[in-house]
Structure 1
């Protein structure tokens, strides 16, 4: 049950962040270009699972978009706010699909459970 709740939270974050972006009046091309940008952190796994997990988690925690949104709000920067909600939408999308924060033991070991061929219903 907790895994389902966490996935539903991810869905809510994805939908709400995307709706916020829609109301900001920023071009959708920015959303399309930046939505999967946090997944470039996968490349860090070439340096090993510990390094990969650090980089992946740094770009897949809601702390980053929250700090960026706060900075955008304080500086009245719609671009910062737009990037923050795109980033948050991506994180929500990943959580909805069951991709959680990674453990250093390997890419498939996440806080939402194991993913991949030998997963336990993640």
Structure 2
């Protein structure tokens, strides 16, 4: 059975759905940044924490399966949504502010095409391959 037109054989979304997912990431990032501005939590904190989710890249030292799982956990909207919900339920601004920074990071990543990872390789994401694709005839082909 051939793959649908908007899905590549590696499982990544392509075409219009991919463009919409990237625009959605941009919209989420802008909304999170504007909401963070409304909280008035300080731009120093924002600058300090905006790249914190990328610390999950260190989990790739334990192998691609563990790396993909922990990277995806840090780059899914699930955990920051829970953190924001807890902050709002407790009437605390700090958890909500951290969650908004986290959501902004994820949205920016998605807008740039950095999607959730497949365990087959770091460069394989739900939004397509990141980085340079191997050229035809390359001797060194890696699964990522």
> Would you call these one fold, judging by a TM-score over 0.5?
yes
Provide the rounded CA distance (Å) in 1 between the counterparts of 2:70 and 2:80. Answer: 15
Mapped pair 1:59 → 2:82: no
- After superposing on structure 2, the runs of 4+ consecutive aligned residues of structure 1 that deviate more than 3 Å are none
Structure of larger gyration radius: 2
TM-score by length of 2: 0.81
Report 1 or 2 for greater relative contact order, CA contacts < 8 Å, sequence distance ≥ 6: 1
Structure 1: stretches of 5+ with no match in the other structure: none
Report the number of matched residues. 119
Counterpart in 1 of 2:106? 91
Mapped pair 1:114 → 2:133: no
Provide the rounded CA distance (Å) in 1 between the counterparts of 2:118 and 2:28. Answer: 22
Structure 2: stretches of 5+ with no match in the other structure: 1-15, 135-144
Q: CA RMSD in A?
A: 0.9
Provide the rounded CA distance (Å) in 1 between the counterparts of 2:36 and 2:61. Answer: 33
| Bigger helix fraction | 1
